[in-house]
Structure 1
Amino acid sequence: MGISYFRTAGTLITGTGSIAEVGEQAKKLEATKAIIVTDKIIRETGLLSKVTEPLSAAGLEADIIDDVVPEPPFENLEQLAAQIEGKGYDLLIGVGGGSALDITKVLSIMLTNKEDVREFVGIEKVKNPGVPMILVPTTAGTGSEVTYNAIFTDTRDKVKKGIVSPYLLPSVAIVDAELTLSVPPAVTAATGMDALVHAVESYTAIRAGELTDGIALQAIKLISRSIRKAVYNGKDLKARENMAMGSLLAGISLGNAGVGAVHALAYPLGGKFKVPHGVANSLLLPFVMKYNAVADLKKFAEVAEALGENIEGLSLREAADRAVAALAQLSRDVGIPSSLKEVGVTASDIPALAEEASKVDRLLNNNPRWLTMKEIQKIYEEAYGAVEEPSLT
């Protein structure tokens, strides 16, 4: 066994009603001036009262900034940083989906590191720890509350880029399924499938290991058995609890084992075509799995079993094929587009997409099968013309 690191949030608080702990956690961090970072939709839902009331009870009044935009570009970060710099905030509280949490994480380090934010793109390029953070997800999807990654759109290059640093981990993460009850079906589907992609990719990644394998498999089980209920009966609290825990576990696995080619191929879709991250990932998952599975048939057979597929009597190849088909069906069941045509991609766009994806070495190097540009382009072509369930090649 080689040397590995395992990192997650400093303190994890989970369970229905756990948001009530936010005030006490802020006190333990000795906060004197806090700001809540969120978006306008979250503010309009009234969810913020579940955060501000416990803070007030603990004697801490928090300012609010709600200018986070979906799939945020670096310009959104710079705009928000300018608004909070020099105000003396010693605690940032991120409330929302992955965009709000990623913004909060990077605002934290922007307050203590004066380089241009684009200088942080890549792995461990942040010099100084940031301002303490509490992260509160309101969707079950990104797992951003427990990862040291943050993803942004580079509008210049029209591609997603990642900042990776242990300084992006929060002091506290609070995961309360009640905060997800009002999430609409389409968002529940996209974020939930995103979490499932995190679990599958991290389980089959090159950097996967004993510490992450069990976590990832449990995430696959929880999400695959609950996402249909969460999408089509959003008030089902048990389904929401399973999704929240599944997303959290997938985030922990992702944060330590990493992900692979699904994310690498999804980044250009988000950057150029504004395809939401979860949609891009789940659309591409079966097609990338089709290529990856032959590199580790045993692990992909185990994915099939975790998905609830009956693999008794099947060969490893047949079981792995069953995993690919099951994930394609699940994605369709919750309303995710099944081809690139449906998200605005044309055949002439594919070579440029392949070229951009081939540059995402950080993720491609963690993929269980080495993919050349030719293979990446073929995956895009198959996802573009998809009419049947993918099967192994």
Structure 2
Amino acid sequence: MTMSYFRTPPTLLTGRGSVGQIGKEARKLGATKVLIVTDKVIVQAGLLPYVSKPLEAEGILYDVLDEVVPEPPFENLEQMAEKIQDNHYDLFIGIGGGSVLDAAKVLSIMITNPVNIRELVGTDKVAHPGIPTILVPTTAGTGSEVTCNAIFTDQRDMVKKGIVSPYLLPAVAIVDAELTFTVPPSVTAATGMDALVHAIESYTSVRANQITDGIALQAIKLISRSLRQAVFNPHDVKAREEMALGSLMAGMSFGNAGVGAVHALAYPLGGKFKVPHGVANAMLLVYVMKYNVVAHLPKFAEIAKAMGERVEGMSVREAAERAIVAMGTLARDLGIPTSLKDVGVTSADLPAMAQEASQIDRLLNNNPRWLTVKEIEQIYRDALGE
């Protein structure tokens, strides 16, 4: 067995009602003045009291910053950091989807690392720990509450960029499925497919190990059997709970084994065409799986089994290809766009997109099969329907 690291938050709280413990967890961290980082959607949905009331019960003072925007650009982070710089908070609580959680993580390090945010882009560029954080997801998808990653939009270059540092891990992650019950079907579908991408890409990553493999396969199993129910019957409590747990486990897996070509190819879609992260990943997954499958047939066969496909009596290759068929069926069932034409991409856009994606070595180096610019462009062409 080769040496590997496995990083996860020191404390994970899961299960319905677990968010009610957030005041006590904040008290354990010595918090006296808390900043709740969120967005206006969470406030309007009435989810803020899930966090604020337990803080009040513990006598902990808090302010609310609800200015995170979807797929936040660096400028959004800079504006918020300037506003809170001198307020001397000793704990940040992020409650929301992946954009909010990523923003909370990076705001915490911006306070203690007073440099231009672009200087933090990349891996291990953060010099000092940030303000402690507690993260509470309200969607079952990004897994941001348990990863060292944060993704933002660079409007100058029109591409998504990542900040990766162990200092982004929260002190506490709380995953309470009850907070996902009001998520609309389209968001449930997109974020759920995003979680499935995390699980599949980390399972097939060249950095995968026995720990991440077990977690990723269980995530695939949970998400595959519960995502349709969560989308089409939002009040199915069991499906919502399995999605929340599956997303958490997928995050733990990809936070350590990494993700690959799906994410790399999705970045230009998000940056230039404003395609939401989960949708971009879901649109490209089948096409990248078709390219990658020959690089690790046994693992793709295991993915098919985890998705509930009947592969008894099949060869390893036949079973592996069943995973691709099953994924395509799931995406169609959920109404995920199947062609890049659906989001405004044209054939003329593909060479530049391929060139951009080819530069994202941090992700492409994890992919089980090597990709050239020409091969990336061909995957885009397949996804465009050409």
The interval holding the TM-score normalised by the smaller chain is over 0.9
Please tell me the residue identity of whatever aligns with 2:46: G
Matches within 5 A, 1:95-114: 95-114=95-114
Q: Which residue of 2 aligns with 1:52?
A: 52
Q: Which residue of 2 aligns with 1:351?
A: 351
Please tell me the residue identity of whatever aligns with 2:330: L
Please tell me the residue identity of whatever aligns with 1:316: V
Matches within 5 A, 1:32-51: 32-51=32-51
Counterparts of 1:224 and 1:343, CA distance in 2: 25
Deviation at 1:320, TM superposition (A): 1.1
Q: Which residue of 2 aligns with 1:390?
A: none
Q: Which residue of 2 aligns with 1:116?
A: 116
Aligned to 2:2, the other structure's residue is in SS state coil
TM-score by length of 1: 0.98
Deviations 1:144-196 (A, max 9, x none): 00000000000011110000000000000000000000000000000000000
Q: Which residue of 1 aligns with 2:147?
A: 147
TM-score by length of 2: 0.99
Please tell me the residue identity of whatever aligns with 2:67: D
Counterparts of 2:239 and 2:13, CA distance in 1: 19
Please tell me the residue identity of whatever aligns with 2:154: D
Counterparts of 1:54 and 1:177, CA distance in 2: 17
Counterparts of 1:89 and 1:235, CA distance in 2: 37
Please tell me the residue identity of whatever aligns with 1:246: G
Deviation at 1:316, TM superposition (A): 1.2
Counterparts of 2:235 and 2:74, CA distance in 1: 35
Q: Which residue of 2 aligns with 1:66?
A: 66
Q: Which residue of 2 aligns with 1:307?
A: 307
Counterparts of 2:227 and 2:285, CA distance in 1: 16
Counterparts of 2:371 and 2:217, CA distance in 1: 25
Counterparts of 1:227 and 1:87, CA distance in 2: 41
Q: Which residue of 2 aligns with 1:322?
A: 322
Aligned to 1:9, the other structure's residue is in SS state coil
Aligned to 1:192, the other structure's residue is in SS state helix
Q: Which residue of 2 aligns with 1:362?
A: 362
Please tell me the residue identity of whatever aligns with 2:106: V
Counterparts of 1:277 and 1:155, CA distance in 2: 15
Aligned to 1:111, the other structure's residue is in SS state helix
Q: Which residue of 2 aligns with 1:90?
A: 90
Matches within 5 A, 1:1-393: 1-385=1-385
Deviations 1:58-104 (A, max 9, x none): 11121001010001110110011011101010100000000000000
Please tell me the residue identity of whatever aligns with 1:160: K
Counterparts of 2:49 and 2:32, CA distance in 1: 19
Counterparts of 2:154 and 2:328, CA distance in 1: 30
The gaps in structure 1 that reach 5 residues or longer are 387-393
Please tell me the residue identity of whatever aligns with 2:210: E
Contact 1:38-1:95 within 8 A present in 2 as well: yes
Counterparts of 1:178 and 1:295, CA distance in 2: 40
Please tell me the residue identity of whatever aligns with 1:152: F
Counterparts of 1:329 and 1:383, CA distance in 2: 15
Aligned to 2:42, the other structure's residue is in SS state helix
Deviation at 1:50, TM superposition (A): 1.0
Identity across aligned pairs (percent)? 69
Counterparts of 2:69 and 2:325, CA distance in 1: 34
Counterparts of 2:333 and 2:74, CA distance in 1: 34
Deviation at 1:287, TM superposition (A): 0.2
Root-mean-square deviation over aligned CA pairs:
0.6
Counterparts of 1:333 and 1:71, CA distance in 2: 26
Please tell me the residue identity of whatever aligns with 2:264: A
Aligned to 1:269, the other structure's residue is in SS state helix
Aligned to 2:112, the other structure's residue is in SS state coil
- The answer to which of 264-273 and 315-324 deviates more is 315-324
Contact 1:52-1:61 within 8 A present in 2 as well: no
Counterparts of 1:380 and 1:157, CA distance in 2: 20
Counterparts of 1:266 and 1:236, CA distance in 2: 31
Counterparts of 1:351 and 1:151, CA distance in 2: 24
Counterparts of 1:320 and 1:279, CA distance in 2: 24
